[in-house]
Chains A and B, each alone.
Chain A
Amino acid sequence: MKQTPDIKPIATALLVAPAAILMFGVFILPFLFLVVLSFWSQAPGSVGMTPSFTLANYARIIGDSYYLGGLWTTLWLSGLVTLLCLVLALPLARWIVLHAKRSKGLLIGLCILPLVCGALLPTLGLVNLLSPLGFINGALKSMGLIKTSLPLLGNIAGVSIGLVQAFLPLMILPLISTIERIPHDYEKAAMSLGATRLVVWRRVLLPLMLPGIVAGSLLVFCASLTAFVTPQILGQGKVVTFASLAYQQAAMVLDWPFASALGMVMLLFLALAGLVGALVSRGLGRRT
């Protein structure tokens, strides 16, 4: 059935145009410019960029173990954060859908709180939570469980905790919307046919939740891969992530062509992650 529009095509175009033009000009065009810029060069110590075609920026990334090391750390850290978010978000999202009745909306509202508070404010709280004198170490010491403070800041542990906390909502929201679409009867039907809890999860629930799992994982992976505020503060300069390297080049060294090349490398890995996500979804679509 073809739906008939309620307003004229020309009016539609006029209504949509301002937002579309703005988003294309201010958001999409810079990405295209980034591609060009990553091949430009800049003489050391100057801020003037030279339009040219050089692969020097990319060669510098590939040839330097500092950048490659940062990339490697960032990749496995993002993988770890994605996995932890999935493990924490699954029971919470399922519980909110199945058991939270009247408080559901409020719970979802609380879940998006870290998202709308920005990257900075929760991180401030995390510093006081994780520092040697902070909440966790203080509580453990006063209970007599530890004598010396656990190192939770300035290492991978602190950065992972911060990233999981910051990006958990990105996993919870897509999971809630997929779980909401699974009919309750499916689980009961499988159980009544003699399936154990484990089998129900493996053969019925997880496959049905997979679109949400893939979407959430992609969002969390991409957000972790490009995060720099949380890693810089909780890592206290000791954990070098790729996005913080790019940030330093763009905001402090002011070598924009090189920063653009670092950005391009991030985009490449995001595209790869997206491809893997698409393949997983498609592979599953064929099987069911």
Chain B
Amino acid sequence: MTSRFGKAMLLAAVLAILLFLLAPILVLILSAFDSGNVFRFPPKGLSLRWFETAFNHAEYRSSLWISTVLGLLSTAIAVGLASLAAFGLVRGKPSYRLAMEVLLLAPLTLPLVVWAIALLSIYAQLGINGTLLGLILAHVTITMPFAARIMIATFDEIDPNLEAAAKSLGASPWQVVRRITLPLALPGLLSSTAIAFLVSFNDVVVTTLIAGAGWITFPVRTFSRLRTEGIDPTTIAIGAMIVAFTILVIVLGQRLFQLSRRL
């Protein structure tokens, strides 16, 4: 009896904690449909007008475009480099594997804001402050640990005997990679691409310091608006769409290739 009561209490506590964790995201989506200029609860009415403004807003459209291009380019480079390195570390088993893993995962443990301050002054010395090159280098760096972690776990799980068997049956190295390694690594590749893109697309900490005036991403624009003018309901609507997209990627990723297994 007490045990059943205890279990129910535990379940209630767990649900409350989950709700707390997800509440801001849920409220963000809910408030995007509020018709007023300032969100108030309970809402006065529901409308889609902020979505409409969002789609007609040239400034936001261009910054969303910049975020997307930057995210795609950085993700492609980070996942590519991370996959090569992870394959080398797992299959080559070098003595420096642990040191390299620490190096590739370093941005997860060292403070990015401190790094961005230093990067800003280095970029200024090199004259690449506020350029696309500078932004891509920074975004590849912050997405690398996520891609590397997932790819190392992915290659660790692939049995090297499968590659050896294909080779002994006369497959060329390129055929082994294309027909054996790549198909087996595909779930990991898709997982790291999804996570790296989301991290790059949503980053504000590093980008707000090094973005300059030419390449203002959506999070950076929103952050600077927020500090000077407060919340703009248009931002809420775009934010809600980004969050919905993020949830979709995570849920689909989980369903199709067990995204969370290699995190």
CB distance from B156 to the nearest CB of A (A): 12
Question: What is the CA–CA distance of A85 and B93 in the complex, to the nearest angstrom?
Answer: 37
CB distance from B116 to the nearest CB of A (A): 8
CB distance from B117 to the nearest CB of A (A): 4
Residue among A9, A105, A117 with max Cβ neighbours from chain B (10 Å) = A117
- Taking residues whose C-beta sits less than 8 angstroms from the other chain, chain A's interface range is 35 or more
Q: Is B72 close to A, CB under 8 A?
A: no
Q: Is A43 close to B, CB under 8 A?
A: no
Question: What is the CA–CA distance of A33 and B121 in the complex, to the nearest angstrom?
Answer: 9
Residues of B within 8 A of A272 (CB): none
CB distance from B96 to the nearest CB of A (A): 8
Task: Find out whether the CB atom of B246 lies under 8 angstroms from the CB atom of A112.
Answer: no
In the complex with contacts A18-B81, A246-B114, A114-B25 CB distance below 8 A: yes
Residues of A within 8 A of B251 (CB): 106, 109
The stretch from B50-58, B182-190, B218-226 touching chain A is B218-226
Question: What is the CA–CA distance of A119 and B120 in the complex, to the nearest angstrom?
Answer: 20
A250 interface neighbour in B27, B148, B209, B263, Cβ under 8 Å: B209
Task: Find out whether the CB atom of B113 lies under 8 angstroms from the CB atom of A124.
Answer: no
Considering only residues 1-27 of chain A, those with a C-beta below 8 Å from chain B are 3-9, 11-16, 18-20, 22-24, 26-27
Considering only residues 265-288 of chain A, those with a C-beta below 8 Å from chain B are 266-267, 270
Q: Is B31 close to A, CB under 8 A?
A: yes
CB distance from A173 to the nearest CB of B (A): 7
Q: Is A66 close to B, CB under 8 A?
A: no
The stretch from A69-77, A199-207, A226-234 touching chain B is A226-234
B10 interface neighbour in A37, A91, A169, Cβ under 8 Å: A91
Total A-B Cβ pairs within 8 A: 290
Q: Is the interface of A mostly helix, strand, loop or mixed?
A: helix
Considering only residues 114-134 of chain B, those with a C-beta below 8 Å from chain A are 114-122, 124
In the complex with contacts A31-B110, A260-B117, A19-B259 CB distance below 8 A: no
Question: What is the CA–CA distance of A142 and B120 in the complex, to the nearest angstrom?
Answer: 49
Task: Find out whether the CB atom of A129 lies under 8 angstroms from the CB atom of B122.
Answer: no
Q: Is A110 close to B, CB under 8 A?
A: yes
Residue among A9, A106, A121, A129 with max Cβ neighbours from chain B (10 Å) = A121
Task: Find out whether the CB atom of A128 lies under 8 angstroms from the CB atom of B246.
Answer: no
Closest to A88 in B: B17
Q: Is A127 close to B, CB under 8 A?
A: yes
Task: Find out whether the CB atom of A125 lies under 8 angstroms from the CB atom of B219.
Answer: no
Q: Is B84 close to A, CB under 8 A?
A: yes
18 sample A-B contacts, Cβ–Cβ < 8 Å, listed by A number: A9-B94, A13-B94, A22-B137, A23-B104, A23-B144, A92-B18, A95-B14, A109-B253, A109-B259, A118-B199, A121-B25, A124-B28, A133-B38, A168-B21, A228-B113, A233-B227, A243-B111, A250-B209
